[in-house]
Amino acid sequence: MIWSAPAERSDDGAFDRHEPTKHDQENCAVIQSGVTLRLPPHSKMDLNTHPHRRYNPLTREWVLVSPQRTERPWQGQIEAAPMQRLPEYDPNCYLCPGNERSGGARNPAYTHTFVFDNDFAALQSETPAEKYADGLLIAEGEPGICRVVCFSPRHDLTISAMKPADLRRVIDVWVEQFQALGELPTINSVQIFENRGAMMGASNPHPHCQIWAEQSLPNETLKEVNSQHDYRARHDSCLLCDYVATELLKEERMVCQNEDFVAMVPFWAVWPFETLVIGRRHTTGMDQLGESERDALAQLLKQLTSGYDKLFDTAFPYTMGFHQRPTDGQDHLEYHLHAHFYPPLLRSATVRKFMVGYEMLAMPQRDITPEQAAARLREVSDKL
């Protein structure tokens, strides 16, 4: 027997909200009013208490959810609480204006954003795109370009602390970079991402992101292109447009929203407080966003990241990144612009989720349900 994607259900997402029962409360201490889900009455399964798998239609992979496990005692690793206060300027920072970088180049005295080619780039534009094949030993040269974008001259100004107008400048730079890199004949994928915090491997606290642009579609991008393509071919509709519509009706996984963008903990979230940011309008990339949509994106990113910071009263670490259409010259009408936030924290500023053991050998697993995570994020993000 082959196990694969579930057969499409006409009653997809037909879960109702209900008040937690005593049984719920006994089995799941973090359950909060109005955030539980249930299947139709004939179902014996309760997604609030029973271990179950959830399907991610974007990657076509599963995640194991174990809501009964949220009170598991923790005697494992405690991460050091990240430093909260940073200076506006750090003379030893490689990214601050006027400073020398570790590669020897000197940063200009920039006043807004600053983009430069990564001094230690993982991809190089001159790499020959030749193939190597020797039976099972297969390789390909991968030409590409890596850049770094400093969000502002301020060493301490994270996305959550930036003024929306300054954040808007960052979005404009993302659009410019997506267009300029995407136009190059050897570049078919432009991945913009931010590693925030030492816990996520950021090498420097100065707020910045990276751009890796390359010839091939990386694994995650390829999965999402294929799934959205197949969904459109089958339904004559967009997977993420349909998903946003579903979540707007359900509400229990919504975190915050404005006139153009929504942020939610997806039904299939892997990381405890993972979120998905999606444009309400169907656009295949940031270059198709209008002026007001770019402003709305800035507002939403600020609201979402401020909520994250409040959740555990810390500079909330995460990896975030935008998924946009491949820049191979095709329209890619199946593709819907979105951003993923993958934060590692689980219980506090010092206790993180580890993707080890079962996750490395079998599949991702989570305890706190996406509905519980969304309720907690909603609480802090509403109070802005």
Counting contacts by CB under 5 A, is residue 95 touching Zn ion? yes
For residue 185, give the DSSP letter. T
Q: CB under 5 to 8 A by kind: which of ligand H2U, Zn ion, none does 206 bind?
A: Zn ion
- Find, among 183, 141, 211, the residue nearest to 326 by Cα: 183
Q: Segment 205-234, which members bind ligand H2U (CB under 6 A)?
A: 210
Short-list 165, 176, 162, 190, CA closest to 289: 176
Q: Which stretch binds Zn ion (CB under 5 A): 5-13, 30-38, 151-159, 297-305?
A: 151-159
Distance (Å, whole) CA 271 – CA 28: 18
Q: Give the span between the Cα atoms of 165 and 171, in whole angstroms.
A: 10
Where is 55: in which H helix or E strand?
strand 52-56
| Binding residues with Zn ion: total (CB under 5 A) | 6
Is residue 96 a contact point for Zn ion (CB under 5 A)?
A: yes
- State in angstroms the smallest separation of the CB of 115 from ligand H2U: 11
Residue in 335, 204, 326 with CA at minimum distance from that of residue 282: 335
Catalytic residue among 206, 208, 323, 332: 208
Q: Work out what residue 155 binds among Zn ion, ligand H2U, none; the CB cut-off runs from 5 to 8 Å by kind.
A: Zn ion
Surface-to-core class of residue 1, CB atoms within 10 Å of its CB (0-12 exposed, 13-18 middle, 19+ buried)? exposed
Binding to Zn ion by CB under 5 A, coded x per residue (else -) over 203-242, reads ---x------------------------------------
Q: Which of residues 159-198 bind ligand H2U (CB under 6 A)?
A: 195
Number of residues binding to ligand H2U, judged by CB under 6 A: 13
Residue 120 binding result from ligand H2U, Zn ion, none, given CB thresholds of 5 to 8 Å by partner type: ligand H2U
Helix, strand, or coil (residue 229): helix
User: What is the H or E stretch that residue 257 is in?
Assistant: strand 254-257
* Shortest distance, position 206 Cβ to Zn ion, whole Å: 3
DSSP 321-383: EEE----SSS--TT---EEEEE--BSSSSS-B----THHHHT--EESS-HHHHHHHHHHHHHT
Query: Which part of the chain contacts ligand H2U (CB under 6 A), choosing from 37-45, 200-208, 288-296, 359-367?
Result: 200-208
| 108, 110, 113, 117: CA torsion to nearest 10 | 0
- Give, as ranges, the residues between 264 and 323 that touch Zn ion (CB under 5 A): none
Q: Which of 147, 155, 232, 376 binds Zn ion (CB under 5 A)?
A: 155
Query: Restricting to residues 96-155, which ones interact with ligand H2U according to CB under 6 A?
Result: 101-103, 118-120, 148
Known active-site residue 340:
no
Residue 172 DSSP class: H
Instruction: Decide which of Zn ion, ligand H2U, none touches 202; Cβ closer than 5 to 8 Å per partner kind.
Output: ligand H2U
Residue 93 interacts with Zn ion (CB under 5 A)? yes
- Count of CB atoms within 10 A of residue 122's CB? 11
Kindly list the residues in this chain that would bind ligand H2U in the complex (CB under 6 A).
Answer: 94, 101-103, 118-120, 148, 195, 202-204, 210
Kindly list the residues in this chain that would bind Zn ion in the complex (CB under 5 A).
Answer: 90, 93, 95-96, 155, 206
Q: Which residues are catalytic?
A: 208
